[in-house]
């Protein structure tokens, strides 16, 4: 599982011109799910996202988490995070999980993050052509890959 986590002042997602998800301060998370991903990847990544301390404290240091600032999450599924670009100029997406595997894991991630935050996570529409807008605060962007979880 790969995640691109952006600290935002606000973020939103539209599908067919209709707003489907929006947040104020928090994280806009792009989530890529691969065929080899499972429940342990989901748990590890959810814990990391929910507790990531990248919001400023009273001294301007990145010491606060979503819990501390009552921040929110906009979670967007994005299979293109699994792109392989080693050969040629056209990315390969063979590592990306097929929808029958990816959708349940995505929905489980929504539920897990909601439970960890104690409030609902805003979402896009799985598999849809989405228009995502955000104001990256900082900018702060963190990339996490569960394949690296053992390489502290």
pLDDT tens per residue, range 54-93: 999 999 999 999 999 999 999 999 999 999 998 889 999 9
Q: Any idea what the CATH number is for the domain that residue 48 is in?
A: 3.50.80.10
pTM comes to: 0.93
Q: Which domain holds residue 65?
A: 2-148
Instruction: Tell me how many domains the chain contains.
Output: 1
Among 137, 138, 133, CA closest to 22: 133
| 80 noted as active-site residue | yes
- Using the CB atoms, write b or e for 107-121: b if 16+ within 10 Å: eebbebbbebbeeeb
Of these residues, 6, 27, 55, 78, which one is catalytic? Answer: 78
| 78 noted as active-site residue | yes
The answer to whether 92 and 45 have CB atoms below 8 angstroms apart is no
The answer to whether 95 and 34 have CB atoms below 8 angstroms apart is yes
pLDDT tens per residue, range 98-120: 999 999 999 999 999 999 999 99
pLDDT at 151: 61
């Amino acid at each position: 599982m790969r995640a691109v986590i952006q600290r935002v002042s606000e973020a939103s997602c539209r599908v067919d011109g209709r707003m489907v998800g929006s947040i104020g301060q928090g994280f806009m998370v792009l989530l890529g799910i691969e065929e080899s991903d499972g429940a342990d990847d989901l748990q590890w990544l959810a814990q990391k996202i929910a507790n990531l301390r990248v919001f400023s404290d009273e001294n301007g240091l990145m010491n606060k988490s979503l819990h501390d600032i009552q921040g929110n999450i906009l979670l967007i599924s994005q299979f293109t995070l699994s792109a392989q670009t080693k050969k040629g100029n056209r990315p390969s997406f063979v590592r990306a999980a097929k929808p029958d595997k990816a959708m349940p894991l995505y929905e489980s991630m929504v539920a897990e993050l909601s439970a960890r935050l104690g409030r609902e996570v805003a979402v896009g529409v799985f598999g849809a052509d989405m228009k995502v807008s955000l104001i990256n605060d900082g900018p702060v962007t963190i990339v996490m890959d569960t394949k690296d979880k053992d390489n502290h």
